[in-house]
A and B are shown apart, each in its own frame.
Chain A
């Protein structure tokens, strides 16, 4: 915390200023230091350079991101309450309007009251931060479960294009993920290898949260998790790839920098086996669609192998030795779209 020897005794009030940070979590921590000096919290925090239509309080004040200051604050916060930085960071990744100010208010409450402010759900910003951190955490957990990798071959054109622009991806405070320009510098031109690709559309920006999990799980595989909504990709390379040794093996890059990929020949067969397994473990007598949907919300279905229909396999894999009859016998029922859902009113 800034100036720990002079522990503030009263919480800062919300002021009228608008702060503009670089959009990173470190930048937000620096915003707190600035607010502390100014004696009031900002009314709003925006990302510099991004049009923020209609903010009410005059020109935004630019906040410089100072990495050493941010990491000192992280240490201070972790000393007060282990796990707090991760929680603030997850809330931050919810990308919800106003979450930045709630985070600053919570940091301030911790500075005044210590660790107890964190668990105090009678304090609105605490609740906001907890709620969003929880939602982001839940989605990250779901991603860890629902990401589905497919084996791909990197095409001949598989050169890593150098990104023209640094993505505005916040850095995970403790995860070994870096999205800074330095990690994009030496572009590894490992083409023609095997790469495991997963496509996702998470509601929140969870890639920084799930990075460590997958890095620990698949250290020796080369994999990519592509967030199609944000056009960002979490990329992991094995040490064997010709990466500069000091560069991080796991990092976030813009989707535009990814090489061309094509699924390998055996991919569809394994997907068919997985679907066969999924069908076999069903107990029709116990079907409970409501419960099923609570666990596997519909929005995740497009990325789930087991929710895809069977037919494409024969069409696309010449060596697939599954006869048509077996396919039609075992094909998953087509999702039935209720035409009624649109309502007769809209037409008449």
Chain B
């Protein structure tokens, strides 16, 4: 029986590994005296794959039998090369419990091929979660990937049991989605998202009144976008993500560089396709700036430049697009501005603010504070450091950061024509007004400055 489980693990973990949404975070679940496990706001990576991805959950498909035919997926019905199999509920429960007790995992991420209809499939996933929670007092993390089109009742029960639910959009435009996954459309994804958001909002509101309000997916919901399988540009991908953060209040959008697992004619040919690893990385950086650093989508990626600069991190690219806002003085600039400096993170910005209350921050202090001087040096001033390049030759800064030969093409387009419409950044360092690259004067928004004081 164990050999069989090992074989199933090999097949059903292999099929689930391309789904990157696994970070177990965002749901607090306290343990009871007799229960097993808890889940903390910060998920733990218990190990890392040889390619450096975090393994925090037992991530498997319940079954890889599927009636759909999505071109980007190994599990698609037309793929005759895979062996089809399925776990039993008991097997998944047992694996989860035993792995958890050995401290291999934080919990379970369960998804499945659609082996009959949406409800039959979702019911199996819910059954696993039900058994773990009720029969085994399992308080670790459970993430269920619900099947588009599942009934509201099942979604509600799933939400009661799981820490997080997700419905994957996968393809960043509906037209492309229809082309590669004929059975799917955006509506079948958005509808369950709506249900989950409503359930979650309700739970949050109830929880304000009483601590004992029944949980509903306390870790919110997430989704995944596959990039590279279809031709959408970065701006399309990020604006879809931005919209999802705002409208569906998603916790995370995951970007997954398409891995050529399929020789189906509807997706890129594995023989010539190169995985967009750099692109995936830059998308996460851009996403991070929007979610954590209060950048707007337009600041990170103006409409006229639909592609992220692959050689330069998006924050440095932003700074070089607005050279007149820099350099900023580390001894006077508000927190909002410090965190906009390339090479400065939230932590080092906070350290600067703490240190300057007790005295002047000098150049030699910065490295110890965790500032990446190689990057930041062009954008900040201290009493002994006054960079000039930003005012005279921002193109040279790009060449120095990127390093190597100064191959001309991309940076020329960066500084060629000033973009016509630019949303003004929230505040400028100790200047009344800021000049946007188009030459127009933008009034200074005062709110963020007041917050910093």
Say whether A and B bind each other: yes
Q: A281 touching B14 by the CB < 8 A rule? A: yes
Choose among B10, B49, B355, B365 the residue that contacts A283 (Cβ–Cβ < 8 A): B49
B35 and A220 contact, CB distance less than 8 A: yes
Q: For chain B, residues 82 to 102, give those with C-beta under 8 angstroms from any C-beta of chain A.
A: 95, 98-99, 101-102
CB distance from B291 to the nearest CB of A (A): 23
Are A218 and B358 in touch, CB under 8 angstroms? no
A window 159-210: CB within 8 A of B: 196, 198
- Taking CB as reference atom, which chain A residue is nearest B37? A217
Size class of A's contact patch? 35 or more
State in angstroms the CA–CA spacing of A284 and B17 once bound together: 12
Determine if A157 is an interface residue (Cβ-Cβ < 8 Å).
no
Q: Is A5 in the interface zone, CB < 8 Å from B?
A: no
Within 8 Å by CB of B9, from A148, A198, A273, A287, lies A273
* A-B pairs with beta carbons under 8 Å apart, 5 shown: A121-B369, A144-B44, A196-B102, A306-B104, A326-B3
CA distance A204 to B18 in the complex (A): 36
Q: How far is the CB of A156 from chain B (nearest CB, A)?
A: 24
Q: Which residues of B (392-432) have their CB < 8 Å from a CB of A?
A: none
Residues of B within 8 A of A289 (CB): 50
Q: Which of B5, B52, B54, B102 makes the CB contact (< 8 A) with A305? A: B102
- Does B152 sit within 8 A of A, measured CB to CB? no
The verdict on A276 contacting B9 (CB below 8 Å), with A218-B36, A219-B35, A295-B48 known, is yes
- B21-71 interface with A by 8 A CB criterion: 31-38, 44-55, 58-59
Chain A residues, Cβ within 8 Å of B34: 219-220
In the complex, what distance in Å separates the CA atom of A198 from the CA atom of B46? 14
Instruction: Render A311-340 as a binary contact track against B, CB cut-off 8 A, 1 for contact.
Output: 000000000111100100010000000000
Docked complex Cα distance between A283 and B18 (Å):
8
Complex CA–CA separation, A294 to B53 (angstroms): 11
**Chain A residues closer than 8 Å to B47, beta-carbon distance:** 145-146, 278, 296, 304, 306
Interface string of B367-383 (1 = CB under 8 A from A): 01100000000000000
A108-143 interface with B by 8 A CB criterion: 113, 116-123, 127, 141
Give A220 to B54 CA distance when docked, in angstroms: 28
- B364 (CB) vs chain A CBs: closest residue: A122
A residues adjacent to B (C-beta < 8 A): 113, 116-123, 127, 141, 144-151, 196, 198, 216-221, 239, 269-270, 272-274, 276-289, 291-292, 294-296, 304-306, 320-323, 326, 330
Write the nearest CB–CB distance from A271 to chain B, whole angstroms.
Answer: 8
A292 touches B51 (CB 8 A): yes
Q: A270-B98, A295-B52 are in contact. Are A283 and B354 (CB under 8 A)?
A: no
Mark contacts of B96-132 with chain A using CB atoms, 8 A cut-off: 1 yes-contact digit, 0 otherwise.
0011011110000000000000000000000000000
Complex alpha-carbon distance, A330 and B10, angstroms: 10
Minimal Cβ-Cβ distance residue in A for B47: A306
Q: Is the CB–CB distance between B2 and A149 below 8 Å? A: no
Q: Is the CB of A149 within 8 A of B102?
A: yes
- Asked if A148 and B6 make an inter-chain contact with CB atoms under 8 angstroms apart, the answer reads no
Question: If A121-B369, A306-B47 touch, does A273 touch B5 (CB 8 Å cutoff)?
Answer: yes
- Is the pair A276, B103 in contact by a Cβ cutoff of 8 Å? no
Q: Looking at the assembled complex, report how far the CB atom of A202 sits from the nearest CB atom of chain B, in whole angstroms.
A: 15
Q: Which residues of A contact B14 (CB under 8 A)?
A: 280-281
Q: A120-B354, A121-B369, A219-B31 are in contact. Are A281 and B361 (CB under 8 A)?
A: no
Nearest CB to that of B365 among chain A residues? A122
In-complex Cβ contact of A218 among B45, B58, B101, B368 (8 A): B101
Contacts of B17 in A (CB 8 A): 280-283
B284 CB, min distance to chain A CBs, angstroms: 14
Residues in B with CB closer than 8 Å to A147 are 103
Using a CB–CB distance below 8 Å, which chain B residues touch chain A? Answer: 1-3, 5-6, 9-11, 13-14, 17-18, 31-38, 44-55, 58-59, 95, 98-99, 101-104, 259, 275, 277, 350-351, 354-355, 357-359, 361-362, 365, 368-369
In the complex, the answer to whether A120 meets B355 with C-beta atoms within 8 Å is yes
Complex formed: what's the CA distance from A126 to B354 in Å?
A: 12
Interface pair B101/A296, CB less than 8 Å apart: no
Select one of A127, A145, A286, A288 contacting B46, CB under 8 A: A145
With known contacts A145-B44, A286-B275, A216–B31 Cβ distance under 8 A: yes
Which residues on the A side are within 8 Å of B5 (C-beta)? 273
Q: Which A residues are in CB contact (< 8 Å) with B98?
A: 270, 273
The 7 closest A-B pairs by CB, nearest first: A119-B354, A291-B52, A286-B51, A280-B13, A295-B48, A281-B17, A276-B6
Do B10 and A279 have beta carbons less than 8 Å apart?
A: yes
Measured in the bound complex, the distance between the Cα atoms of B362 and A69 in whole Å is 39
Most chain A Cβ neighbours within 10 Å, of B3, B51, B355: B51
Residues of B within 8 Å of A145, CB to CB, are 44-47
Residues in B with CB closer than 8 Å to A277 are 9, 13, 58, 99
Q: Per a CB cutoff under 8 Å, which of A116, A127, A146, A284 touches B358? A: A116
| Complex contact B51–A287 (CB within 8 A) | yes
CB distance from B175 to the nearest CB of A (A): 28
Are B3 and A119 within 8 A (Cβ)?
A: no
In-complex Cβ contact of A122 among B13, B45, B99, B355 (8 A):
B355
The closest CB in chain A to the CB of B350 belongs to A119
Q: Which residue of A lies closest to B99 (CB)?
A: A274
- Whether A276 and B51, one on each chain, are in contact in the complex, defined by CB atoms closer than 8 angstroms, is no
Across-interface contacts of B45 in A (CB, < 8 A) = 145, 295
Closest chain A residue to B18 by CB distance? A283
Chain A residues with Cβ below 8 Å from B50 are 282, 284, 287-289, 292
Residue of B nearest to A294 (CB): B52
Q: How far is the CA of A277 from the CA of B15 in the complex (A)?
A: 11
Smallest Cβ distance from B102 to chain A, in angstroms? 5
Q: Are B358 and A120 in contact (CB under 8 A)?
A: yes
CB neighbours (8 Å) of B368 from chain A are 121-122, 127
Distance (Å) between the CB of B200 and the closest chain A CB? 25
Closest beta carbon of chain A to B92's beta carbon, Å: 12
User: Is A292 touching B48 in the complex (CB atoms < 8 A)?
Assistant: yes
**Distance of B366 from chain A, by nearest CB (Å):** 9
* B358 contact set on A, CB distance < 8 A: 113, 116-117, 120, 122-123
Q: How far is the CB of B82 from chain A (nearest CB, A)?
A: 13
Q: In the assembled complex, which residues on chain B have CB atoms less than 8 Å from the CB atom of A198?
A: 103
Q: Other than the known A141-B44, A218-B36, A294-B52, what 13 A-B pairs have Cβ atoms closer than 8 Å?
A: A118-B354, A119-B351, A121-B368, A145-B45, A217-B37, A221-B36, A269-B2, A270-B98, A274-B102, A292-B52, A304-B47, A322-B6, A323-B3
**Contact yes or no, B10 A116, CB < 8 A:** no
* A residues in contact with B11, CB < 8 Å: 280
Q: How far is the CA of A26 from the CA of B412 in the complex (A)?
A: 63
Chain A residue contacts of B354, Cβ below 8 A: 116, 118-121
Q: Are A322 and B49 in contact (CB under 8 A)?
A: no
Known: A119-B355, A280-B10. A285 touches B2 (CB 8 A): no
Min CB distance A35 to B, Å, is 23
- For A296, give the chain B residue with the smallest CB separation: B48
